Amino acid sequence: MQFSFIKCHGSGNDFPLIDARALSLSDAGWAGVARALADRDGPVGGDGLLLLTTGDEDCAFGMRMFNSDGSEAETCLNGLRCTARLGFEVLGLEQATVRLKTSVAQVARDAELAPGVATVRTVVGPNSVAAADVGLRIEAEQVIEAVVPGLPSARAFTAVAMPNPHLVTFVDAVDEEELVSLGSWCEGAPALIPARANVSFVEVRRDADLFVRTFERGVGLTNSCGSAMAASVLAAGLTGRVPFDAQVRVFNKGGLVRGRASADRVVTISGNATFLYDASVQVDVAAGRAEVPVMHARREDEAAAWRAAVAGLASAS
């Protein structure tokens, strides 16, 4: 089956993005396409597969996101910005309500992070600090800056659902080996959290900047996870590390976003939605294999604008 797609990224989180509004494929079929196109050893590669889907009476359009292992995520904020940008362009919109797997999201074009960097603002949620909503099988009603019983870590975590599940801990310095070990344990769907969880180690840097490193559910150690950055902003507010309603810069290995959390837990994230190239590809859906894509157009100006923005912001941080 042949697909046209846009290779895109949000804060370094890269995806093939398909306009699927006129396509009919089963969930199992889309899972196969995700395994083919988001395979890092394959001809396209990515942190997952994004689909722009049709809207309904309440939403202008929808988004589905399949991880590289074929599982479907409740949300993906870096991917949502890219999908929203495509939705804006094909429908002639500046803002919209978007249908996600289990919720809806508000999205809008925003002031550029840097010259030439397309930027989209998202209101994140609905979120929750209820342990049950995060998927934790514990007696406590919530976990805010506390050790999680049964988790193989003595660190204090804050558990939030964005609505996908996140465990966030603040550290003096990120230990990637420790992060991967704990994330891999959660990835095994233990009895403590059978639906698995995203795990983030977060450093608070000068001027209340945050640096986030995440082991993403269904992906592994990733350079960027949008919902993890949002979860980290909320956790920083809930634990008093960053004042509520303060705008903070959230860095990761892929780049950065602007974030803000309010006392009533409304989280807003603004970040890039960069299109890298347009291509088409033949996919054996059943086998989950893709052929070498045919390139139609490269968007070198956007890629260059993002590189310049990251270099400038990194030197200023």
Same-domain status, 144 and 97: no
How does pLDDT run across 14-25, given as a tens digit for each residue?
A: 999 999 999 999
What is the 3-class SS of 198-246, one letter each residue?
A: EEEEEEECHHHCEEEEEEECCCEEECCCHHHHHHHHHHHHHCCCCCCCC
Mean of all residue pLDDT scores within the chain: 94
Same-domain status, 224 and 260: yes
How does pLDDT run across 155-171, given as a tens digit for each residue?
A: 999 999 988 899 999 99
Range of the domain at 155: 131-271
The Cα–Cα gap between 244 and 260 comes to: 7
Q: Across residues 52-70, what is the average pLDDT? A: 95
CA 114 from centroid of its chain's CA atoms: 21
| Domain membership flag for residue 120 | no
Same-domain status, 244 and 291: no
Same-domain status, 196 and 87: no
How many domains does the chain fold into? 2
SS3 128: strand
| Amino acid, res. 265 | R
How does pLDDT run across 92-149, given as a tens digit for each residue?
A: 999 999 999 988 899 999 999 899 999 999 997 778 999 999 999 999 999 999 999 9
The Cα–Cα gap between 281 and 291 comes to: 6
Whether the pLDDT of residue 315 is over 60: the answer is no
Residue 77 Rama label (left phi>0; alpha psi -120 to 50; beta): alpha
Q: Give the residue numbers marked as catalytic.
A: 76, 225
Same-domain status, 172 and 247: yes
Whether the pLDDT of residue 317 is over 60: the answer is no
The Cα–Cα gap between 210 and 275 comes to: 26
Whether the pLDDT of residue 9 is over 90: the answer is yes
H helices present in the chain, as ranges: 27-37, 77-91, 131-134, 176-187, 226-238, 300-316
Same-domain status, 68 and 159: no
Same-domain status, 186 and 301: no
pTM: 0.82
**DSSP bridge partners of 108:** 95, 121
H helices present in 22-129, as ranges: 27-37, 77-91
Spatial neighbors of 81 by CB under 8 A, at least 6 apart, are 10, 107, 120, 122, 226, 271, 272, 273
CATH number at residue 307: 3.10.310.10
Q: Is the peptide bond before 126 cis (omega within 30 degrees of 0)?
A: yes
Same-domain status, 297 and 234: no
Residue 88 Rama label (left phi>0; alpha psi -120 to 50; beta): alpha
213 vs 94, 172, 174, 184, CA distance in Å? 31, 13, 7, 14
Residue 215 structure tokens: 């082991």
Residue-wise burial string across 153-172, b where 16 or more C-beta atoms lie within 10 A, e elsewhere: eeeebbbbbbbbbbbbbbbe
The Cα–Cα gap between 33 and 49 comes to: 8
